[in-house]
């Protein structure tokens, strides 16, 4: 696994640097002075991706050789299946019932699948996120989500 971390981190770092220095300058035009360049956010993102992947390579090289365990445990597979079920349920509710029901099931189902059991926290996070999205898109921006 250590070797895979090194190779995957190096590959992601190289791709981020290629994107930063080749793809972004070729694909996104520069703007006149006084405007925020549309290249800014992609460049910041690629810098962070390159730094994080370089950190992955460094940490993988520093790690002591530990005994290899199973790559994926049963608990991780069970969590993946629970989250996949929550996403599938929210997609079905979004398409066939209402977008709000899909959003509620996505947030609450993900919290439940990840082990949250306090009902006040589940309701608070779900309601707070949906209210925040409504406030930003409908009130502040004046646009519809759907």
Give the model's pLDDT for residue 73.
84
**Domain count across the chain:** 2
85 and 40 both lie in a single domain: no
84-119 pLDDT tens trace? 999 999 999 999 999 889 999 999 999 999 899 999
CB 16 within 8 A of CB 57: no
Is residue 92 domain-resident? yes
pLDDT means over runs of 10, the chain (146 residues): 83 96 93 87 96 92 68 86 94 93 94 92 95 88 75
* CA dihedral sign, ordered 79, 80, 82, 86: positive
Helices 99-113 + 74-96 axis angle, to 10: 170
Report the distance separating Cα 132 and Cα 110, nearest Å.
18
47 and 101 both lie in a single domain: no
Half-sphere exposure of 74 (CA within 13 A, CB side): 0
Is residue 67 domain-resident? no
78 and 128 both lie in a single domain: yes
Is residue 68 domain-resident? no
Which residues span the domain enclosing 123? 74-140
Report the distance separating Cα 25 and Cα 18, nearest Å.
10
57 and 79 both lie in a single domain: no
Instruction: State both tokens at 49.
Output: 């991706």
Give the model's pLDDT for residue 142.
82
Is residue 69 domain-resident? no
117 and 85 both lie in a single domain: yes
Q: How far is CA 145 from CA 46, 97, 133, 141, in A?
A: 28, 16, 9, 10
Radius of gyration of the chain (CA): 21
Q: Which helix or strand (DSSP H or E) is residue 119 part of?
A: helix 119-134
């Amino acid at each position: 696994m250590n070797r895979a971390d090194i190779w995957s981190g190096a590959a992601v770092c190289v791709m981020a640097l290629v994107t930063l220095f080749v793809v972004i300058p070729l694909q996104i035009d520069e703007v006149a002075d006084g405007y925020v360049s549309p290249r800014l956010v992609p460049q910041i993102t690629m810098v962070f991706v390159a730094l994080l992947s370089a950190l992955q390579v460094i940490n993988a090289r520093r790690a002591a050789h530990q005994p290899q365990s199973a790559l994926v445990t049963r608990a991780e597979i069970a969590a993946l299946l629970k989250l996949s079920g929550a996403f599938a349920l929210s997609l079905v509710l979004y398409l066939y019932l209402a977008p709000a029901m899909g959003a509620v099931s996505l947030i609450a189902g993900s919290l439940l699948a990840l082990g949250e059991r306090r009902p006040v926290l589940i309701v608070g996070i779900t309601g707070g996120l949906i209210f925040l999205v409504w406030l930003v898109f409908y009130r502040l921006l004046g646009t519809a989500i759907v």
